[in-house]
Chains A and B, each alone.
Chain A
Amino acid sequence: MQDPVNSSPPHESSQAERRLQRSVEKNSILVMRDITKTFPGVNALQDVTMEVERGTVHAICGENGAGKSTLMKVLSGVYPHGTFDGTIELDGQPVQFKSINDSEAAGIVIIHQELALSPFLSIAENIYLGNEQAKRGWIDWNKTNLESAKLLKRVGLRDNPITKVTDIGVGKQQLVEIAKALSKEVKLLILDEPTAALNDDDSAHLLELIKQLREQGITSIIISHKLNEIEAIADRVTIIRDGKMIETLEMQSGDVSEERIIRGMVGRSLESRFPDHESQPGEELLRIEDWTVHHPIDRQRKVVDGASLSVKAGEIVGIAGLMGAGRTELAMSVFGHSYGSNISGRVYKRGVEVKTNTVPRAIAAGIAYATEDRKRYGLNLIDDIKRNISGSALGKLSRFGFVNDPEETTVANRFLKSMNIKAPAVTAKTGKLSGGNQQKVVLSKWMFADPDVLILDEPTRGIDVGAKYEIYTVINRLADEGKGIIVISSELPELLGICDRIYTLSEGHITADVPRSEATAEGLMQYMTKYREVDA
């Protein structure tokens, strides 16, 4: 099919020159053309083309595993030239990056989701790590600290550059990463899920900063799930799905809506983010009374103070709270005293008091706990799907201490299908799966253990919109089977969308028990901040 722009008589200037002309005309700082990258058995990217205009904020949107991070790794040189097909043009010139050093020298800096800061080094040391202000191998500390202070000012941090990075919060660490990028005289800044670990205040501050950088002429590419943020700061959005570029939308054009972006990402329109569900609560399954937990190291400090809550069969109950309120600590301490010291209180199962002071006892009492950090506490990433699924209930599959391998495989296949886990086979290693699929494996593990009460800690963290919906559906199904579900989540919309009742936890105290019909985000937030001391 004739390309209208390109269809000029053959004796005209060459293809490359024409392209260059177009780029410069359009003021593009970056053109990635027909990028194709494959791994053994997987097409990560297929003919992806993306053009980023100078001095804009360009968002990349897509489900987990769609290929966004891969695309950025191609751009930044993590996947060097030669390991992929396609071309990259920076400022109209084709570039071939052999390493991250090459891309950084060209003015491209990528800030990963997992911050690459060394926790026990100072802010200044981190900013100049690998780029030391040194003369003949000896570091000039005065210069380092001075220059760092200037950079910190640009990003809005007033901390002393000699502060250790581990002593400042995640929000500030993110800003230090940006200061680090500025020290490299960045022209094109790539941010991978920059606000994923930040609270609302820090997120807002960061987004403001990105806008400021735009005014200073720095182009930013943001990979994000958070559609409201994209709407707030992006000029253009590229939607990627299954390794293919679906469309690029101009945010100003007026016909871009959250609905449209979701549809592009997922390939179908979502009626609503949360499946409909009517609960039929039955008998009380679990009651926790007067639960008090002290800090494991500072044994005088109460992390949970006299908390009481309950959940009925068929009910989905939420626990809302700010970071540090004690939600995970509450759950982990109930589940086998896996956190904390000096724990007191009572646990009742169907009205009868039970001891849950070891994990096996908690499991025997019919409680399951899906951890907040699935990679660290929920899965053996080296091992395959089926062994992870059977992990908590090997007794069901074994006789005389020997595991029945075919039965284990059958069970795993059943979950692979019913949970829609995308993997080539149940012998695939869990470490290779995407976040959403890993979470499904964790859920499968606990479903196989067949508990009466499931405590799910941040069950949809780091998971794309489509997979979240699937997990909500599973939660509803479990409730319909008569199980009691407790959901701990930092996303209020999520709790409001799926829970029948929501408890609020503030500094270790249960401050409210709000039924869905009366719950609002503002109201919950008030209860969540009841005990919080206001920062001066």
Chain B
Amino acid sequence: MTAPTGLDKPPADTKPARPPAGGALSYLTGQLSQVGLFIALIAIVVFFQITTDGITLKPINISNLIIQNSYILILAVGMVMVIIAGHIDLSVGSIVAFIGALAGVMITKWDLPWPLAVVLCLVAGGLVGAWQGYWIAYFGIPAFIVTLGGMLAFRGLAQIVLDNKQIAPFPDGFRDLGSGFLPTFGSSGYEPLTMIIGVLASLALVVSAFRQRRERRKYDLESEPLWWFVAKQAFAVALILLVTVQLASYDGTPIVLVVLGVLVVGYTAVMSRAVFGRHIYAIGGNLAAAELSGVKAKRVTFWLFVNMGVISALAGLVYTAGLNLANPSAGNGFELDAISAVFIGGAAVTGGIGTIPGAIIGGLIIGILNNGMSILGVGTEWQQLIKGLVLLAAVAFDFYNKRRRSGV
């Protein structure tokens, strides 16, 4: 990369981005939609913390929360990409069941070593995605319809594969994928490996944020006031460390958290920096213009659904391992959770807009709702009602902010 020279600076007559006049409060309200999500998350956590008499933030609960809701977050990562591209995938819940069924049969009936079964299942997920991707990308049937068909078909396949029975138990190694922890060291207090991971994660976040900021300042693109930037980083670090400490005082780092971490970091990089990610935003933002610019939209869409298939398979494996059960009726309604997570996280219905971190926060909100309501003993029917209202409220708030900002 060439060293920056004076020639690379923006032209002198473009105004450098300045922090807006009007002081801190007005800046904050301007950022409302961005932080609104965080505020909602904090509010919900606080709410449940109070109403559950402090159980919510206990180490054991945080650990369980992560393990029990990891599948939503995994699915949300794949789903947000599909939605940004302007499509949707209704079949993910059924794929979860189908792949779980395959895992069950491979491991217990065919006696395959479980790592091999995991690989084969991921490949199977890719094939499922390729199947749907073909119809959507090359044949041209809208994704809604293809994946609706998939939802029905793969549910049926799951039942066929399992002969409508459940399979259990699974070997320990496999179960670790869903409910296991990284090896722990030390005997009491805070588990050191977990603490190290948490601190490293915080450092990585802060360092990357600083580098981004420095990069933007070099081109006079940065308009965020320093105090706000520092506040955001401090807040994020506090959050990470809180979770780290709680995990460290229980059983350590859940393996799914590592899986999730890798997924989030990897896919965020792809969406923000890779050509493939760029193309996804392009076809979602204006398909015709993207095609006329030379983007191979069909190919991008195809691989997008292959990707979703693999991610769904991963979610299926994690879920099955966590429950220690392959169930033909698993995954019921998972697609709705994943889609809700994506929209709560700020994606646009028409495509072209959305982020992975946003989807993760959306997923966390749903996860905490699930978790909190369970602790409180709220019946599932009420849980459905509340989740539906939260989705509406979150998106309405987002719309309201956008409208307010554009001055209409």
**Which positions in A face B, CB cutoff 8 Å?**
39-40, 335-336, 338, 359-360, 363, 369, 371, 376-383, 387, 391-392, 394-395, 398, 401-407, 409-410, 413, 416-417, 423-427, 445, 449
Contact = CB atoms under 8 A, between A and B. Distances in A.
Contact of A380 (B274, B276, B289, B294): B289
Contacts of A383: 281-282, 285, 352
Contacts of B290: 380, 391
Given A360-B296, A371-B292, A377-B292, A405 B215 contact: yes
A403 B8 contact: no
B275 A382 contact: no
Interface stretch (B11-19, B105-113, B186-194, B310-318): B11-19
15 contacts: A376-B288, A377-B288, A380-B282, A380-B289, A382-B285, A382-B286, A382-B352, A382-B353, A387-B278, A394-B278, A402-B274, A404-B1, A409-B221, A424-B17, A425-B14
Given A391-B290, A407-B1, A425-B17, A402 B273 contact: yes
Contacts of A360: 294, 296
A379 B15 contact: no
Given A359-B292, A387-B282, 14 more contacts: A39-B407, A376-B289, A378-B292, A380-B282, A380-B285, A381-B285, A383-B352, A387-B278, A391-B290, A391-B293, A402-B275, A404-B1, A416-B11, A445-B293
A416 B10 contact: yes
Q: Give the top 5 A-B pairs by smallest Cβ distance, nearest first.
A: A380-B285, A417-B11, A392-B293, A382-B285, A382-B352
Nearest to A394: B275
Given A338-B291, A425-B14, A403 B275 contact: yes
A416 B292 contact: no
A312 to B, nearest CB: 25
Contacts of A387: 278, 281-282
Contacts of B281: 380, 383, 387
Contacts, number: 109
B285 A413 contact: no
Nearest to A424: B15
Interface in B260-311: 269, 273-276, 278, 281-282, 285-286, 288-296
A405 B273 contact: yes
B292 A338 contact: yes
Contact of B10 (A335, A401, A413): A413
B294 A359 contact: yes
A241 B290 CA distance: 35
Contact of A416 (B1, B14, B17, B348): B14
B220 interface: yes
B144 interface: no
B285 A403 contact: no
Nearest to A360: B294
Most chain A beta-carbon contacts within 10 A, residue among B1, B10, B17, B288: B10
Contacts of A405: 215, 273
In this complex, the member of B14, B288, B293 whose beta carbon has the largest number of chain A beta carbons within 10 angstroms is B293
B219 interface: yes
Nearest to B30: A40
Contacts of A338: 291-292
Interface string B340-365: 00000000100011000000000000
A371 B296 CA distance: 18
Contacts of A425: 10, 14, 17, 219-221
Nearest to A403: B273
A383 B284 CA distance: 10
Contacts of A376: 286, 288-289
Interface in B373-408: 407
Query: Which of A398, A403, A416 has the most C-beta atoms of chain B within 10 angstroms of its own C-beta?
Result: A403
B299 to A, nearest CB: 10
Given A394-B275, A405-B215, A416-B10, A379 B17 contact: no
B169 to A, nearest CB: 41
A164 to B, nearest CB: 26
B288 A380 contact: no
Given A360-B294, A369-B292, A377-B292, A406 B285 contact: no
Nearest to B350: A382
B23 to A, nearest CB: 15
B113 to A, nearest CB: 33
A338 B294 CA distance: 11
Contacts of B8: 410, 413
A413 B15 contact: no
A324 B282 CA distance: 30
Contact of A391 (B14, B282, B296): B282
A409 B269 CA distance: 18
A268 B78 CA distance: 55
A401 B276 contact: yes
B33 to A, nearest CB: 14
Contact of B274 (A363, A401, A407): A401
Nearest to A392: B293
A406 B1 contact: yes
